[in-house]
Amino acid sequence: MSQRQNQILTVLIIIAVVISGANTYLLFNHIDLQREQYATLENISELRDDLDDVASSLDGLQDEITSLQGNFSEVEEEIADRLGGLEEGIQESLDELSSLETTLEDVTGEIQGFNSSMRDELESLSAEVAAIDERVGGSLERTPSSVYEARRASVVKITTTAGQGSGFMWRSRNYIVTNHHVVDGAEEANIGYYDGSWTVATVVGSDPYSDVAVLRVEEAPLDSEPLTLADSSLIYIGQEAVAIGNPLGSYGALSSGIISQVNEKLDIPPIIVPVLQLDVTIAPGSSGGPLFDLDGNVLGITNAGTIYGINFAVSSNIVDRVANSIVEEGIYQHPLVGFFGYVLNPDIVTLLNLQNVDTHQHGIIVMEGYPAEEAGLEAAIETTDSLGDPAYTAKDIIIAIDGIEIRTWGDWDAYIAEHVAPDQEIVLTVWRSGAIEQVTLETAARPEYTG
């Protein structure tokens, strides 16, 4: 064979060998792939089995979930039912709570009102107890003797050409208060002190209607201190009282007793103010001296005594009002309400033969005898009864002044003396022909006393 052919043959052999090797490789590789495929198929089969198991499990879970969902629905319905009932219960509780809160607020308000009322009542009772304690305690601690020792240096003897009396230091160590009738007509007076010293006083002024006078001195012993005036509106019947005066020319005599009555009308002209009635002995020479309570405060100025043991004093509130006016103005002007009247009682109703008034009607009936119309009041009218006897028909009966009930002249005089001034408006409550009316009028000034 030719060389070329040999070469071709060789190449072909090599190619054949290569192809054979490749086939062998591919064969073996194919076998491996088949093995892998078989293994993969087995794995896939196993996975299928596993997936079937999982699917079966999922089916079971789905059943359980479905069952649970059913249970949950039942639970939800039960919870919803219970919540609904609970909400209703809560709402009822809230409504009840709201009602209780309202009730509590009402009760709290009532309790607060009760507490406030009780507090006010307790405070009032405490004040009353304190006042009683002060009265009782003061009375127990103080005696007429202790008042005398503490106050005698402030009491003086007063002499004029017309007579003598007593007085006491007031407002400062330069002023002395006494009775008008002690210094009536005098411009000066001799003043004797507890220590035996004397000085001359100038009469600053006096008021005959209240029987109060004020004197001025330039000097006084250091321990002759001004006395303190009590509030005479607090004086009560039965209250112990002490007087220091100079009866019948003696020095600094002490007497004691009680207050027998207040707002008494003293029938000793020209005195018009109400006075205190005492059973304390007031002998000549003691007029103008101080009347003390057991605390040493001045209840009034003693101004009159009787042989029957009934004695009188001008109350401290009137003394204070009149004396201050005398010092500051040189005079005291009393108010005047122009009418004439009677204090009603069964005897007066019968005496006047009043035709339109009940026997037990109280107040002051306005009568003829003074121009009552000028004061805005209507006087009783003269008439006759069914038998032809003289009688009266009442028009105005005064039952109150500025809201203060009036039953006696003492009530009227006390209010006028302590609370009313000239040119002042007052409101009278009157029974006018059977109806209750308010009458406003303006007071005038009482004319100066001329003796």
Q: What is the pLDDT of residue 101?
A: 72
Residue 156 and residue 273 in one domain: yes
Q: Which of 11-25, 78-92, 111-125, 391-405 has the lowest mean pLDDT?
A: 11-25
Is residue 202 over pLDDT 90? yes
pLDDT at 245 over 70: yes
Cβ pair 333, 342 in contact under 8 A: no
Please indicate, yes or no, if residue 450 is contained in any of the structural domains.
no
- Cβ neighbours of residue 184 closer than 8 Å, sequence gap 6 or more: 162, 206, 208
Helix or strand (DSSP H, E) at 135: helix 3-141
Q: Are 255 and 287 in contact (CB under 8 A)?
A: no
pLDDT over 70 (residue 139) = no
pTM of the model: 0.68
CB 155 within 8 A of CB 252: yes
Domain assignment present for residue 451? The answer is no
Query: Considering the domain boundaries, does residue 394 fall inside one?
Result: yes
Residues 367 and 267 in one domain: no
- Whether the per-residue pLDDT at 272 is higher than 70: the answer is yes
Greater confidence, 78 or 26?
Answer: 78
> CA-CA distance, 195 to 221, in Å (whole number)?
8
- Contact assessment for residue 225 and residue 173, using Cβ atoms and an 8 Å cutoff: yes
Q: How far apart are alpha carbons 364 and 408 in whole angstroms?
A: 7
Range of the domain at 251: 144-329
Q: Using CA atoms, how far apart are residues 448 and 177, in angstroms rounded to an integer? A: 21
R_g over Cα of the chain: 58
The total of other beta-carbon atoms located within 10 Å of residue 49's CB is: 10
Q: Could you read off the pLDDT of 406-436 as tens digits, one per residue?
A: 999 999 999 999 999 999 999 999 999 999 9
CA distance 128 to 349: 40
Give the pLDDT of residue 437.
97
pLDDT at 88: 76
Domains in the chain: how many in total?
3
State whether 205 and 245 are in the same domain.
Answer: yes
Alpha-carbon gap, residue 342 to 379, rounded angstroms: 11
Q: Is the pLDDT of residue 132 over 70?
A: no
Q: Which residues, in sequence order, are CB contacts of 210 under 8 Å at separation 6+?
A: 180, 271, 272, 273, 314, 318, 319, 322, 332, 334, 417
Q: Is residue 128 domain-shared with residue 90, that is, in the same domain?
A: yes
- The pLDDT tens digits of the residues spanning 175-194 come to 999 999 999 999 999 999 99
Residues 261 and 294 in one domain: yes
Q: What is the mean pLDDT of the chain?
A: 86
Same domain, 65 and 171: no
Nearest alpha-carbon partner for 302 in 318, 315, 288: 288
Amino acid 11: pLDDT: 67
* Residues facing residue 400 across a β-bridge: 405, 429
